[in-house]
């Protein structure tokens, strides 16, 4: 027996609403879309999706319960994520400032690895997300069915939902990026993108 249709539909509806609400991942993707364009944003989303799979796996192996029980470990992981996102934002602002009116934001010149890495670490360095998966997913799993099969279904479903939602945010932000191609506008988008990344860092720091 696999995940019941009613539970799956409830999960899809609930998780879609949760994913639409802006959080660190949305801010990172939006920031990259504004400053670097569509390609970098979707590379970031790919990293985010891989990170999401890792989060589900960690929750399956009980890491979420460990983080919930150890406030010290929780804080270490949390602040590692905060510092990493702040670093991304500050680096983006410095880059925009250095390049000034000769800002080069050609998508082909941006490292795909760096964008994917930003998405991946934004996902996995969020301890609340791991604990959330533990508490949230258990509500939509049938204890009488095969746990691993249900988790596989949940992983695929959540990846599709997150990919669509973040992709929507990325396309909207990238459209703004493409609409203003003057050097001054592109520089401002670099600053704005960095601001979004720093905003994600503040958002993560403020959550308990």
Q: pLDDT tens for the chain, 208 residues: list them.
A: 566 788 788 888 888 888 888 778 888 888 888 877 888 889 999 999 998 888 777 776 666 566 566 677 667 777 777 787 787 778 777 776 665 444 444 444 445 788 888 889 888 887 667 767 666 666 776 767 777 787 788 888 988 999 999 999 999 888 876 665 555 656 666 677 677 677 767 766 776 5
Contact 101, 187 (CB under 8 A): yes
* 75/96 Cα distance (integer angstroms): 31
CB–CB of 41/179 below 8 Å?
no
* Helical H segments across 70-182, by residue range: 71-99, 112-124, 127-137, 147-179
Q: Are 154 and 10 in contact (CB under 8 A)?
A: no
Q: Give residue 138's pLDDT.
A: 67
Q: What is the DSSP letter of 100?
A: G
Residue 106's Cβ-count burial label (10 Å; 0-12, 13-18, 19+) is exposed
Q: Kindly tell me the burial class for residue 45, based on how many C-beta atoms sit within 10 Å of its own C-beta (0-12, 13-18, 19 or more).
A: buried
pLDDT, position 103: 42
């Amino acid at each position: 027996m696999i995940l019941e249709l009613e539970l799956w539909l409830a999960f899809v509806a609930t998780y879609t609403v949760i994913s639409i609400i802006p959080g660190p991942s949305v801010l990172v993707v939006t920031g990259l879309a504004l400053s670097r364009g569509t390609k970098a944003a979707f590379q970031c989303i790919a990293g985010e999706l891989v990170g999401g799979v890792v989060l589900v796996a960690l929750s399956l192996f009980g890491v979420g319960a460990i983080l919930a029980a150890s406030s010290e470990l929780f804080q270490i992981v949390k602040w590692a994520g905060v510092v990493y996102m702040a670093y991304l934002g500050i680096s983006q602002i410095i880059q925009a400032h250095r390049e000034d009116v000769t800002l080069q934001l050609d998508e082909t010149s941006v490292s795909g690895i760096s964008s994917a890495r930003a998405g991946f670490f934004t996902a996995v360095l969020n301890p609340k997300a791991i604990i959330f998966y533990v508490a949230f997913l258990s509500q939509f799993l049938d204890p009488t069915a095969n746990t691993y099969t249900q988790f596989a279904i949940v992983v695929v479903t959540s990846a599709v939902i997150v990919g669509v939602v973040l992709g929507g945010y990325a396309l909207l932000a990238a459209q703004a990026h493409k609409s203003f191609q003057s050097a001054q506008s592109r520089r401002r988008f670099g600053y704005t993108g960095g601001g979004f990344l720093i905003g994600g860092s503040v958002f993560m720091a403020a959550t308990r």
